[in-house]
Amino acid sequence: MNRYDYIIVGSGIAGLYTALLAKKHGSVLVITKGSIDDCNTRYAQGGIAAAVGKYDSIKLHFQDTIAAGDGLCDEDAVSILVNEAPERITDLVNFGVPFDTIDGEIALTMEAAHSVPRILHAGGDATGEHVEVTLSKQARSSKIQILENCLATEIIAENGIVKGIKTLDYRTGSAEEVGCRSLILATGGAGQLFKFNTNSDVVTGDGIALAFNAGAEITDMEFFQFHPTALRLPGVTPFLISEAVRGEGGVLRNVNGYRFMPDYTPEADLASRDVVARSILYEMKKTGSDKVFIDAIHLPTSITTTRFPHIYRFCLDHGLDITRDLIPVAPAAHYMIGGVKTDNWGETNIAGLFAVGETACTGVHGANRLASNSLIEALVFGRRIIEKTRKRAGRRAPAARRGTKACQQLSQRQVPKTVPAPSLSALQRLLCDKVGIIRHQQSLTKAADILAAWQKSLAPPTDRPSYELNNLVLTGRLVTEAALLREESRGAHFRTDFPQSSPQWQRHIIFTR
Ligand SMILES: Cc1cc2nc3c(=O)[nH]c(=O)nc-3n(C[C@H](O)[C@H](O)[C@H](O)COP(=O)(O)OP(=O)(O)OC[C@H]3O[C@@H](n4cnc5c(N)ncnc54)[C@H](O)[C@@H]3O)c2cc1C
């Protein structure tokens, strides 16, 4: 069996940035499911948050993150995030990410729930693409070994210590085992759980399933962020219309042309994502429509085309000139707030197993992620993983770690007699209909029963689609069971049967196998 100091699963911002740091301290293998740039990072538009502006401060960034997290942020993790963010931006600049500037100064934009303009961007609304392409070029020109079209299928661990990973080259069917000292999961989120989502099709909850099956703790899965404004055009995938469009002055209107957000909240169009997403759903229901509109027509054409060239071009290609036409939008699943539970050094309860980026739950987002805090989270905690592990290079394997006492297992369920056959589209419809933005006990129970039945009936996976379906069903169960347990509404989790937050629930739900 080949052995590496580091194996990193995933080649988005979390995987590649961590790999570039790791290569200074040992041998590195990156395993990635598609080609190197197939990931969510590439799609990020709005930008990356860090308190680098004249009118900003670490304290303000801290306060905004805590306020968005609605009582569930880990304050130590947030403090680490906001303090280390400016230096991580310098790292990106040094790698060659071409952030936009105005008169020689870094350009900063405003996004919902930030109290000052704080968001750095590149290529207008093509931040993620610039970050991904810069890091992947760096990784390719370094000595990092990269295996593309390779699926991580199972973590090898013994007595609570990681030993390596099983992989499948799904084009040839060849399965292998590779050993390592540190295994870093950077597999992204699980947006493909939902019919309407903004995510890449490689994002199927694999890291959650790999970690859970190996005995890792998984937390905060009930909090799934829906982006309020994804393009809603027949036959077109729900392409994101960045919050920054509203940050620059765009406003939401219902199908009758009425500007509705001020009726729901004083923050109007720049309220937090969960509030805007729910308000849009109510408005869609009220007007009997499947969409609302963003009105950016009044913005100067030069702003629209230079700040949002990507969105402008995408819409134009689909017959919409957003300098003249309203943009039809509806909410779509966007970001997995929960994930593999880590400490402030990115390590899980399994010694040598780390998680970073969207697949990890460091505690910085609490119950609701502040916009543009996820790219920066991947950098800050990726760096900390390497800080921690480099001290171990050449030493004995790490000792087994203790888990959290308050963990629970997935509940046993009475499997219903008749259930639809499991398939990706059936799963995505189920989650969208019953575990979406607005939830209640009956629909959650129905979904939980069906998911449990599917989990029992699925055959052992053999190829990429069957691994992905197995992983999504397990991840969907974790989301649904956590949403059922949390009998309150908080952050991104909203239940009509428990519409208020409750002090009793100012705690986390943690699952383990
Ligand atoms: C449309 C869109 C816009 C966004 N805009 C912003 C923004 O402006 N600012 C912000 O901060 N965040 C934004 N986000 C969120 C942010 O982009 C993601 O949270 C972040 O990019 C996640 O990075 P990652 O490296 O953790 O995962 P990803 O970039 O998703 O990468 C995951 C990697 O894991 C690989 N992988 C998965 N499973 C396996 C497996 N079993 N075996 C091998 N490889 C595997 C994938 O192939 C991929 O390479 C946006 C997200 C979307 C979808």
User: Which tens digit of pLDDT belongs to each residue from 286-300?
Assistant: 999 999 999 999 999
Pairing of strands 292-295, 251-253: antiparallel
Q: Which residue has the tokens 């000139």?
A: 321
Of 247-251, 357-361, 404-408, 473-477, give the lowest mean pLDDT range.
Answer: 404-408
pTM of the model: 0.96
Percentage of the chain beyond pLDDT 70 is: 98
Q: Residue 167: beta bridge partners?
A: 152, 176
- Could you give the CA distance from residue 130 to residue 248 in angstroms, rounded to a whole number? 21
Q: Which residues pair with 31 in a beta bridge?
A: 9, 147
User: Averaged over 142-168, what is the pLDDT?
Assistant: 96
Q: Which atom of ligand 1 is nearest to the CA of 210?
A: 41
Predicted confidence at residue 140, as pLDDT, reads 96
At 340, is the secondary structure helix, strand, or coil?
strand
Task: Yes or no: say if 238 and 231 are a contact pair by the CB < 8 Å rule.
Answer: yes
In this predicted structure, the answer to whether residue 1 has a pLDDT above a threshold of 90 is no
Q: What is the pLDDT of residue 396?
A: 57
Atom of ligand 1 at shortest range from CA of 240: 1
Does residue 205's CB lie within 6 angstroms of at least one atom of ligand 1?
no
Q: CB within 8 A of 102, min separation 6: which ones? A: none
Q: Give pLDDT tens digits for 464-473.
A: 999 999 999 9
Mean pLDDT of 27-52: 96
pLDDT tens digits for range 307-357:
899 999 999 999 999 999 999 999 999 999 999 999 999 999 999 999 999
Specify the pLDDT at position 449. 96
Strand partners, 179: 3, 164
Tens digit of each residue's pLDDT (9 = 90 or more) over 62-82 = 999 999 999 999 999 999 999
pLDDT on residue 163: 96
Q: Residue 243 — pLDDT band, cuts 50, 70, 90?
A: confident
Per-residue pLDDT band at 112 (split at 50, 70, 90): confident
Ligand 1 proximity of 44 Cβ (cutoff 6 Å)? yes
Sign of the C-alpha dihedral computed for residues 172, 176, 178 and 183 taken in this order: positive
Ligand 1 centroid to Cα of residue 441, in Å, is 31
pLDDT of 393 over the 60 cut: no
Nearest CA to ligand 1 atom 21: 41
Distance between CA atoms of 26 and 22, rounded to whole angstroms?
A: 7
Instruction: Look at residue 108 and tell me whether its pLDDT is greater than 80.
Output: yes
Q: Assess contact for 65 and 78: CB atoms under 8 A.
A: yes
pLDDT, position 179: 98
- Report the DSSP pairing between strands 174-185 and 161-169: antiparallel
Confidence (pLDDT) at 411: 86
Q: For a ligand 1 pocket test, name from 39, 129, 131, 471 the mutation site with the most ligand atoms within 8 angstroms of its C-beta.
A: 39
CB 14 near ligand 1, within 6 Å: yes
Contacts of 119 (CB under 8 A, 6+ apart): 46, 47, 48, 49, 108, 109, 110, 111, 244, 247, 371, 372
Write the CB contacts of 306 (distance below 8 Å, at least 6 apart in sequence).
124
Determine the pLDDT at residue 247.
85
What is the per-residue pLDDT for 309? 92
- For 297-308, the DSSP string reads TTS-HHHHHHH-
Query: How confident is residue 384, by pLDDT bands cut at 50, 70 and 90?
Result: very high
DSSP secondary-structure letter at 192? G
Contact 58, 35 (CB under 8 A): no
SS3 category, 102: strand
pLDDT of amino acid 394: 52
Instruction: Find out whether the beta carbon of 379 lies less than 6 Å from any atom of ligand 1.
Output: no
Mutation test of ligand 1: which of 33, 40, 88, 111 has the most ligand atoms closer than 8 Å to its C-beta?
40
| 477: nearest Cα among 497, 447, 457, 433 | 447
Which tokens in the block code for residue 379? 């950098």
Q: What is the mean pLDDT of the chain?
A: 95
Q: Which atom of ligand 1 is nearest to the CA of 187?
A: 34
Name the phi and psi angles at 314, rounded to 5: -60, -45
Query: Does 398 score more than 70 pLDDT?
Result: no
Beta bridge partners, 84, equal: none
Under the banding of pLDDT at 50, 70 and 90, the label for residue 155 is very high
